[in-house]
């Protein structure tokens, strides 16, 4: 049975020559071993999966091996074999993330005083060394200041800035680089050939892009794919495994957005979502694609990591597109906060709308095509076609929007005389500005949660007298949001952001409720997305109830 990580262990580099992408480091360490100029403390810094622990193991073998060649271990003597098999007595690896206290360090200190049992040097590898407590760090520092002659410490960390300067100054430091795309593809190709698996060339690119410089992640993904699909391994298999959309379809989607076609963008986006595309992945793919196009537009096509026929296709697509349009779109898609998972297509839809809106204002061209948005959110049975007003009024001059045939007449006439306009106008302004409000709140650091992100789950926004009423579709989001605005400072921040953007002095209070799915289906589709379409100058001209099939 193949378990995850087998490739990684099997293909783990055994000598400094096998270590890919870190040549300056392996050269320096080999040189130290050849000249016998070995330090007693090393600091290996760098992103995960870049070879820090592999280097520590090769190093342990090399300093103890009885038969080295140019600083490389022989992998044949008992010491080399015991390290390779994971049972070397004189190599002690400590995961500091789970053993971060002073007792562990004290015990290491005590044991370090005894001579190595089998070999010349005892090597202690402290992984994620930045996780040590302050007391543990101080205890470690004492040992580093006067290390026993037969002991070598290797501190590995992804976050060197969290180590104290006194510790750093005691160590010889090596900074591991992210593995380049080219080197990673070569490595994966070599593994696939050795495993006798036929793999589409596009698979290597997809896995490499996914692994963002971590060779370990790339090897693990390749192994998962081979275990799941066997040989031949196609790009369709890997896209399915990773929840990726096919590159051509991402390119089609970008094409619709750059052409300003809301309808086709939404149709394709929702189709991809229905087919099981991971929306966080899709966002990343869209950003990659737009970045390629921007590079091409600025004459940097040699920086695009794509086959030449793809670069040609991309160049052709953007021939008549302003670079500003690409930039605006890249910004809008890239700014989506995807640290939380993306349960609906709404964040992407809002970003698409806002980029189309912004690029059409920037270019002041007439490339906006909105025929109808046919229930892209599949949220209720009510279909709300939105038509673009052929002569949209300039923003801020007309606060009222014509909304024909809506049943949304739930406005209380409680104008306190403290704010401009009548309540209905204020409510409209609030809704019109809702996407901007969400965007602004996404940038504000709240106490615990990002309010902008939580409000993306908000489907109904109403001003009821002085109270802003927010209807959430997920209980957990609503509870987090309520928890956040329990804090007076967060609540003040929320209200003042809304007032600033909507240009009113209301609301003064906020209340939340959970949308009742059954009742919700009977209501007009009153959500942030339609508001954003209205923002573009659209009018709701008709609401139709779809007959259940």
Contact status: 80 vs Zn ion (CB under 5 A): yes
Contact status: 58 vs Zn ion (CB under 5 A): no
For the bound state, the minimum distance from the C-beta of residue 65 to Zn ion, rounded and expressed in Å, comes to 3
Give the containing element (helix H, strand E) for 112: helix 102-112
* DSSP-assigned letters across all residues of 443-491: TS--SSS-HHHHHTTEEEEEEETTEEEEEES-HHHHHHHHHHHTSHHHH
Contact 282, 296 (CB under 8 A): no
Judged by CB, which is closer to Zn ion: 66, or 115?
Answer: 66
For the bound state, the minimum distance from the C-beta of residue 75 to Zn ion, rounded and expressed in Å, comes to 6
Interstrand relation of 538-540 and 386-388 (parallel, antiparallel or unpaired): antiparallel
Instruction: Determine the interface stretch with Zn ion among 69-77, 383-391, 452-460, 465-473 (rule: CB under 5 A).
Output: 69-77
| C-alpha distances out from residue 166 to 35, 99, 141, 144, 148, Å | 27, 21, 7, 10, 19
3-state secondary structure 392-441: CCCCCCCCCCCECCCCCCCCCCCCCCCCCCCHHHHHHHHHHCHHHHHHHH
**One of 77, 168, 202, 240 touching Zn ion (CB under 5 A):** 77
Question: By rule CB under 5 A, what count of residues binds Zn ion?
Answer: 5
For the bound state, the minimum distance from the C-beta of residue 78 to Zn ion, rounded and expressed in Å, comes to 8
Of 51, 12, 18, 16, residue with least CA distance to 31: 16
Report the DSSP beta bridge partners of residue 296.
none
For the bound state, the minimum distance from the C-beta of residue 321 to Zn ion, rounded and expressed in Å, comes to 60
**One of 34, 74, 482, 512 touching Zn ion (CB under 5 A):** 74
Check residue 115 and give left, alpha or beta (phi > 0: left; psi -120 to 50: alpha). Answer: beta
Instruction: Determine the interface stretch with Zn ion among 8-16, 59-67, 135-143, 159-167 (rule: CB under 5 A).
Output: 59-67
Report d(CA 525, CA 516) in Å as an integer: 14
Do you find a cis peptide bond into 507, omega within 30 degrees of 0?
yes
Report d(CA 324, CA 329) in Å as an integer: 9
Instruction: Determine the interface stretch with Zn ion among 60-68, 212-220, 253-261, 337-345 (rule: CB under 5 A).
Output: 60-68
Contact status: 63 vs Zn ion (CB under 5 A): no
Judged by CB, which is closer to Zn ion: 77, or 512?
Answer: 77
Contact status: 81 vs Zn ion (CB under 5 A): no
Instruction: Determine the interface stretch with Zn ion among 41-49, 62-70, 323-331, 480-488 (rule: CB under 5 A).
Output: 62-70
Report the DSSP beta bridge partners of residue 506.
none
Subset of 313-342 contacting Zn ion (CB under 5 A): none
For the bound state, the minimum distance from the C-beta of residue 117 to Zn ion, rounded and expressed in Å, comes to 16
For the bound state, the minimum distance from the C-beta of residue 81 to Zn ion, rounded and expressed in Å, comes to 8
Judged by CB, which is closer to Zn ion: 75, or 408?
Answer: 75
Contact status: 65 vs Zn ion (CB under 5 A): yes
Instruction: Determine the interface stretch with Zn ion among 80-88, 249-257, 320-328, 433-441 (rule: CB under 5 A).
Output: 80-88
Judged by CB, which is closer to Zn ion: 80, or 259?
Answer: 80
Q: Which residues bind Zn ion (CB under 5 A)?
A: 65, 73-74, 77, 80
């Amino acid at each position: 049975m193949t378990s995850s990580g087998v490739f990684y262990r099997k293909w783990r580099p055994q000598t400094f020559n096998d270590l890919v992408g870190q040549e300056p480091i392996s050269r320096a360490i080999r040189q130290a071993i050849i000249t016998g100029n070995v330090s007693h403390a090393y600091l290996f810094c760098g992103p995960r999966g870049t070879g820090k622990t592999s280097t520590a193991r090769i190093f342990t073998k090399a300093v103890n091996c009885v038969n080295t060649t140019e600083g490389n271990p022989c992998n044949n003597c008992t010491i080399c074999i015991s390290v390779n098999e994971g049972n070397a007595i004189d190599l002690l690896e400590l995961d500091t993330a789970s053993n971060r206290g002073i007792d562990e360090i004290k015990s290491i200190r005590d044991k370090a005083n005894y001579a190595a049992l089998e070999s010349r040097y005892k090597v202690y590898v402290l992984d994620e060394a930045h996780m040590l407590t302050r007391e543990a760090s101080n205890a470690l520092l004492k040992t580093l200041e006067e290390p026993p002659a037969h002991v070598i410490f290797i501190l590995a960390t992804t976050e060197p800035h969290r180590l104290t300067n006194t510790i750093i100054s005691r160590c010889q430091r090596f900074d591991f680089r992210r593995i380049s795309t080219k080197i990673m593809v070569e490595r994966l190709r070599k593994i696939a050939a050795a495993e006798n698996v036929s793999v589409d060339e596009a698979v290597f690119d997809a896995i490499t892009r996914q692994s963002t410089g971590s060779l370990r992640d790339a090897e693990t993904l390749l192994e998962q794919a081979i275990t799941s699909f066997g040989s031949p391994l196609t790009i369709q298999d890997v896209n399915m495994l990773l929840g990726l959309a096919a590159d051509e379809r991402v390119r089609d989607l970008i094409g619709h957005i750059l052409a300003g076609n809301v309808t086709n963008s939404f149709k394709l986006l929702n189709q991809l979502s229905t087919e099981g595309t991971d929306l966080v992945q899709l966002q990343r793919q869209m950003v990659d694609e737009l970045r390629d196009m921007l590079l091409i537009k600025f004459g940097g096509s040699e920086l695009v990591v794509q086959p030449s026929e793809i670069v040609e296709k991309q160049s052709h697509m953007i021939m008549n597109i302003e670079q500003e349009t690409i930039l605006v779109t890249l910004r809008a898609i890239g700014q989506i906060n995807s640290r939380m998972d993306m349960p609906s297509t709404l964040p992407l839809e809002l970003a698409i709308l806002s980029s189309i809106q912004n690029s059409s204002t920037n270019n002041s061209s007439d490339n906006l095509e909105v025929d109808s948005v046919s229930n892209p959110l599949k949220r209720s049975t009510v279909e709300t076609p939105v038509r673009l007003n052929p002569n949209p009024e300039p923003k801020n001059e007309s606060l009222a929007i014509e909304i024909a045939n809506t049943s949304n007449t739930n406005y209380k006439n409680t104008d306190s005389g403290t704010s401009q306009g009548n309540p209905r106008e204020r409510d409209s302004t609030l809704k019109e500005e809702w996407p901007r409000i969400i965007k602004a709140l996404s940038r504000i650091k709240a106490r615990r949660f990002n309010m902008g992100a939580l409000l993306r789950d908000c489907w109904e926004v109403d001003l009821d007298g002085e109270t802003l009423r927010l209807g959430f579709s997920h209980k957990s989001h609503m509870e987090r949001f309520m928890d956040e605005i329990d804090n007076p400072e967060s609540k003040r921040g929320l209200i003042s952001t809304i007032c600033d953007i909507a240009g009113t002095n209301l609301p003064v209070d906020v209340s939340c409720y959970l949308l009742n799915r059954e009742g919700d289906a009977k209501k007009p589709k009153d959500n942030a997305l339609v508001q954003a379409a209205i923002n573009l100058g659209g009018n709701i001209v008709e609401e139709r109830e779809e007959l259940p099939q």
